[in-house]
Amino acid sequence: MRTLKERIPPLLRRRLRRFVRPADLGTAGLTTPISRHWGFDRGTPVDRYYIERFLTQHAGDVRGHVLEVKDASYTRRFGTGVTKSDVIDIDATNPHATVVADLTTPGRSDEPTFDCFILTQTLHIIYDTRAALRRAYHLLRPGGVLLVTVPALSRATVPDYWRFTPASCRLLFGEVFSPGDVAVAAHGNVLTSVAFLHGIAYQELARRDLDVDDAMFPLVVTVRAVKGIGGAVAAPA
């Protein structure tokens, strides 16, 4: 004997579901975001919640000689036993930059120097992602750790080339690092993704909603990749 649910036609079930769980048109009905500044004007953008949660989980990796992009704020905030801090940027006018370089262009004087490289929200604005990953690998000492975050979903910036999924990250990083040394995770859910696109700050959301990770609706993808002790898998050309 069929259940009541089985006797209801699929189209009618979908219509009934909208009444049982109606959409909140307070934001879903808007065609312009609440904030065009990712939520910085309201607090802290939602993606930063997941980036900082990831770095908190791996604070033990932020040690020794650490390299970070743009500035050393995460090195200072999450570092444990940092002996030296450097900042890499392509922009020579950046007063925080101690290494002025393009990650996609190998430097002939590069040496495997760093114990940790914090590379957050950067790879999507680099067209030649593979070249950047090869150089990041090359800059690490054996046993060094690359801590990466990339957007699965975001408003467009200039420049802006890519969005990533956990599957693409496993393949990309597995081409450079040994696949067994690469740990990939998806963070966020449909609610936090919508909130981020609207520029809602994470402080405006409930912690119980922020801490739900739905692999079908990732906002941020994180990667922890370790350079093997045995040497390079894929060094810069």
Answer whether residue 7 is part of any domain: no
CA distance 204 to 191: 12
Q: What is the CA radius of gyration of the chain?
A: 21
Side chain identity at residue 65, one-letter code: H
Identify the domain containing residue 215 by its residue range. 42-226
pLDDT at 50 over 90: yes
pLDDT at 77 over 60: yes
Q: Which CATH number goes with the domain that contains 207?
A: 3.40.50.150
- Could you read off the pLDDT of 18-37 as tens digits, one per residue? 455 454 646 667 889 999 99
pLDDT at 12 (0 to 100): 60
pLDDT at 196 over 70: yes
Answer whether residue 6 is part of any domain: no
Sign, CA torsion 102/108/110/112: positive
CA distance 91 to 101: 8
Taking the whole predicted model, whether its pTM rises above 0.85 is answered as yes
Answer whether residue 91 is part of any domain: yes
pLDDT at 220 over 60: yes
When pLDDT is cut at 50, 70 and 90, the band that residue 106 belongs to is confident
pLDDT at 21 (0 to 100): 47
- Could you read off the pLDDT of 137-170 as tens digits, one per residue? 999 999 999 999 999 999 999 999 999 999 999 9
Answer whether residue 33 is part of any domain: no
- Please work out, in degrees rounded to the nearest 5, the angle formed at the alpha carbon of residue 51 by the alpha carbons of 46 and 52: 95
- What domain count does the chain have? 1
pLDDT at 110 (0 to 100): 73
Answer whether residue 166 is part of any domain: yes
CA distance 216 to 193: 11
CA distance 235 to 70: 24
Answer whether residue 46 is part of any domain: yes
Question: Which tokens belong to 212?
Answer: 């739900």
The residues pairing with 145 across neighbouring beta strands, listed in sequence order, are 116, 226
Answer whether residue 137 is part of any domain: yes
DSSP string, 70-131: S-SHHHHHH-SSEEEEEEEES-TT-TT-SEE--TTS--TT----EEEEEEES-GGG-S-HHH
Answer whether residue 22 is part of any domain: no
Higher-pLDDT residue of 177 and 29 is 177
Three-class SS state of 191: helix
